[in-house]
Structure 1
């Protein structure tokens, strides 16, 4: 069953860093905000997270293209700790911060966020009712016996491609498709090949360790791989990538919708025959 609850309060400030010295500017505003947030240990939010998106380009012909985004996200059960205490500290940096200081939107009071969790309950505890076309309802009794959950054995793998073939550094997406999404706090990433030879290469190349190496945001998280040979496909489950679920907005892509496309954009040594 699915469980939903209010997880706490959340606020966000996005600082715009333009032009040269992006990393020093980010370090300065981070140091200033951290000092403000830790002025009182009791006032510091329970969770403080920084992410820097290098959307800037050198010698850009528009100001937006010359800018990077530094995102501060805070969470706490107490709305006071993520409200004015955070927004006030950010606004007060306007004349004392890095050159070109501005934010994408005025900081606000914050907002509540939800948490989605999955849990198991006895099947008999959940009423099962069939509603018929004439509008009548018929209760369906729970089964007296069910099959216990057990690990599914891995299917046999095809032989790998013969070694020694020439390879080329290229994006994985040239030989594989992908689709990704969310299941509570976990991300699912499905990857499939278009031919039998590409499948033989994919299944022996894209291991959980290689997956973590290609997507460093997953390197400290549990990654489970499921093999689906009849579909020439792999499914990866990354537990914890989405924190406490979509509504908690723990990352830039809270539903993991684009994780598959990120994976396809990563470069590997791919046999030229497949390209």
Structure 2
């Protein structure tokens, strides 16, 4: 392991659609060794798969990345900064070629490499023939029982393909579906000379990568304490400083808005996890060992982090079209909102019930009593229909518009919003498992040289990666107290993993931890969130973070790209919980 100074990795994208000017901002900010951009969320992959299938000649990569990067290639070359991104999508080789064209036009000598091996859609028949069932991660059902034809299947690769490309002299590395954290692990492994058996160091890099992968998520964006964040109107992007032992410091560009605190880092640590064992292709991270400390303004240190061998299986994101959908937003005004929504539902079922496969009518919010304005009395109603065939949904626009003169009083829509006329594809998600040993993970250099990514000497057993079971706390029966909103004492952040939603709740004040831990039992959670009463819940505790974490199995159906919830990927679950009232002892401080 090297004795080099910590590598500084600056994020410039957390998803497809993030701030376009981020690369420019990062280059104008504090020095970094590597610029890292993440574009490929599960929902993004679903949409990109559809676009690629319809227009393969347009390429399956994130074209906007080329426009982001092109004006800054000269500065990147001058400063010797490396660039790593998964914007290659379904065609990293095509994106690498396009980037080489931009480099040549600029008269530069930057070397561009790509990582391949994640795209498995062409190997599915081979896997079936060899007896690999690609079992669903949540249901254990074999892929052959899905009943639809996949259009995309991509393995979540680790960081060593990126590391090998950088070791071979690449300046820019583009990938397809690697794990989000791999975009940080790869550069750190290259910089410090790690091997695939350096599990503690790799686990530390995975942890740092998990925190900075979502951009401003770590600097105050989407943070339940947003009112305390300076410059929240335009929060800056994070930087991870990763040392040779895997310990790290999370910070940000000093000139930019936002902040980095123990709470903003905790928010990202509990985001989109399945429990204390955070499984990654390069290491299994024991998140319960993570400790955070503020070591300066906008500087949070992470150490120690315990790692162990990675799982023997790789996760594969499989997508398939399952039909079409169409939706619109209507509005009703009090009084009698409940009756008006019921009438709308009944009328639409009469018109469409025998035509479409699913029809969902959801009222959002409630009207204020004695409303001061018309808008305080107005409730939005989201109407969505799905069908296996596009033609089944052709009647939807006319059915909705036919109710203006025969529906509930005050029936209207936003006259300034374009009405939905054409259905759009509905894509379902299948999180599969595949033995990692069958993957072909490699870097491809600009001269055609192919370098295989190294693998660890051993992988974990099932027992080593199993999530720990934490006993339910023995909460004392309530003996009185005061009622407060949970959000007055606790922060929260929620995320999605396929059909599961997760939410972590934590307290900043150590004096509140025992109360939070004993209050947020599984039964109490079901009371706070009635939608979860019939779901399987998994509960975990993170004492170092003063956090209680829940996984809500199946809240999101089979995935964000296909379920009909208005909060499609569960991002507001945490804020909903914070809005609920709970009982606290009279003597609880704060």
TM-score normalised by the chain length of structure 1? 0.86
The equivalent of 2:438 in structure 1 is 125
Query: What does 1:141-180 align with in structure 2 at a 5 Å threshold?
Result: 142=455, 145-150=458-463, 151-154=466-469, 167-180=481-494
Instruction: Name the CA shift for 1:97/1:158 in 2 (closer, same or farther; >3 Å).
Output: closer
Change in 2 beyond 3 A, CA 1:12/1:122: same
Q: Which moved more, 1:243-252 or 1:117-126?
A: 243-252
CA 1:22–1:166 in structure 2 vs 1: closer, same or farther (change >3 Å)?
Answer: closer
How far is 1:70 from its partner?
A: 2.1
CA contact (8 A) 2:532 2:555 kept: yes
Offset from partner CA, 1:211-250 (integer Å, 9 cap, x none): 1211112222221112222221122111222223222252
TM superposition shift of 1:195? 3.2
Worse-matched range after superposition: 11-20 or 257-266? 11-20
Greater CA drift, 196-205 or 148-157: 148-157
**Corresponding residue number in structure 2 for 1:111:** 424
Instruction: Provide, for residues 92-114 of structure 1, a one-character-per-residue CA deviation record: whole Å limited to 9, x for no partner.
Output: 11111111111235342221122
Match of 1:219 among 519, 533, 557: 533
Take 1:27 and 1:157, find their aligned partners in 2: how far apart are those partners?
A: 40
Q: Which moved more, 1:151-160 or 1:249-258?
A: 151-160
Q: Is the 8 A contact 1:175 1:274 kept in 2?
A: no
How far does residue 90 in structure 1 lie from its aligned partner after superposition? 1.1
Q: Distance in 1 between matches of 2:433 and 2:535?
A: 23
Report the alpha carbon displacement of residue 132 of structure 1 after superposing the two structures with TM: 7.8
Change (3 A) 1:184 1:157: closer
One of 42, 46, 58 as aligned partner of 2:369: 58
The answer on 1:232 being equivalent to 2:546 is yes
Which consecutive unaligned segments of at least 5 residues does structure 1 have?
none
User: Do residues 7 (structure 1) and 322 (structure 2) align?
Assistant: yes
Q: Which residue of 2 aligns with 1:75?
A: 386
Cα distance in 2, alignment partners of residues 134 and 174 from structure 1: 58
| Other structure's SS at 1:121 match | strand
1:243 equivalent in alignment to 2:553: no
Change beyond 3 A, Cα 1:172–1:109: same
Consecutive unaligned residues in structure 2, runs of 5 or more: 1-315
Task: Report the counterpart of residue 203 of structure 1 in structure 2.
Answer: 517
What residue is the counterpart of 2:338 in the other structure?
A: 23
SS at match of 1:220: coil
Query: Does 2:500 align with 1:192?
Result: no
The structure that is strand-richer by fraction is 1
List per-residue Cα deviations over 1:90-149 (Å, max 9, x = no partner): 111111111111123534222112223311101112222256899854213555742222
Contact 1:123-1:142 at 8 Å conserved across structures: no
- Contact 1:130 / 1:140 at 8 angstroms: preserved in 2? yes
1:265 maps to what in 2?
579
- How far apart, CA to CA, are the structure 2 residues paired with 1:231 and 1:130? 37
Q: 1:156 to 1:212 in 2, by over 3 A?
A: closer
1:98 and 1:69 map into 2 onto residues whose CA distance is 14
Deviation of 1:175 after TM superposition, in Å, equals: 1.8
Structure 1 runs (4+) greater than 4 angstroms displaced: 130-136, 141-145, 155-160, 162-166
Q: Deviations over 1:47-68 (max 9, x none)?
A: 2222112342233333222211
Cα–Cα, structure 1 residues 159 and 80, in superposed 2: closer, same or farther, change >3 Å?
A: closer
Whose relative contact order is higher, 1 or 2, with alpha carbons under 8 Å and at least 6 apart? 1
Change (3 A) 1:75 1:68: same
Deviation, structure 1 residue 197: 3.4
Give me the whole-angstrom Cα distance separating, in 2, the residues matched to 1:179 and 1:155. 20
Offset at residue 159 of structure 1 (A): 8.4
Q: Does the C-alpha gap of structure 1 residues 224 and 158 become closer, same or farther in structure 2, counting only changes over 3 Å?
A: closer
SS at match of 1:23: helix
CA change 1:224–1:28 in 2 (3 A) is same
Match of 1:140 among 450, 453, 456: 453
Name whichever of 87-96 and 192-201 sits farther off. Answer: 192-201
1:89 aligns with 2:402: no
Higher helix share: 2
Q: Secondary structure of 1:114's partner? A: strand
Distance 1:17 1:234 in 2: 39
Determine helix, strand or coil for the equivalent of 2:328: strand
The number of residue pairs the alignment matches comes to 269
